[in-house]
Amino acid sequence: MKKFNNFESAFNWVDSIVKKTNEQAIEDVAKQTYEDSKEFIYIDTQTMYDSGENSDFKGGYVLIKAPQVRWLYYTSGLTPHKNKSAVPQWFERTKIENMDSYIKMYKNIFNKNKG
């Protein structure tokens, strides 16, 4: 168990671990979310999904840039063609299905960083 001389040194240690963990976890979770979203995204063309490969994962942003994405994301009642499990607002569904694994990813990175 780590021992500290005072509250400030303990706080600084925790703060440095959280910052380091956030830097790693934000990128890792964004990349994993992008990969997991393939299960629920409308993939009439692979190009639409692939447009997200250049997202700002380091900043935690997943951006699918194909022209039809906004319309597909917010329009309900569509019948998927190639991906039968596709749903509108696929990132919300991805988050619901995988939140436990994203939390586990964060915890693993945190535990690795705290040593």
What does each C-alpha distance from 12 to 16, 59, 97, 106, 111 come to in angstroms? 6, 24, 35, 20, 17
Position 51 in a domain: yes
Position 22 in a domain: no
Position 81 in a domain: yes
Position 3 in a domain: no
Q: How many CB atoms lie within 10 A of CB 82?
A: 10
* Spatial separation of the C-alpha atoms in residues 89 and 25, rounded to whole Å: 23
Position 83 in a domain: yes
Give the count of domains, the chain. Answer: 1
Q: Which domain holds residue 91?
A: 28-114
Look at residue 13 in the predicted model and tell me its pLDDT.
93
Position 99 in a domain: yes
Q: What is the pLDDT of residues 20-31, one digit of tens each?
A: 999 999 999 999
- Considering only CA atoms, which of 79, 81, 86, 47 is closest in space to residue 65? 47
Position 6 in a domain: no
* Spatial separation of the C-alpha atoms in residues 77 and 63, rounded to whole Å: 23
Q: What is the pLDDT of residues 37-49, one digit of tens each?
A: 999 998 877 888 9
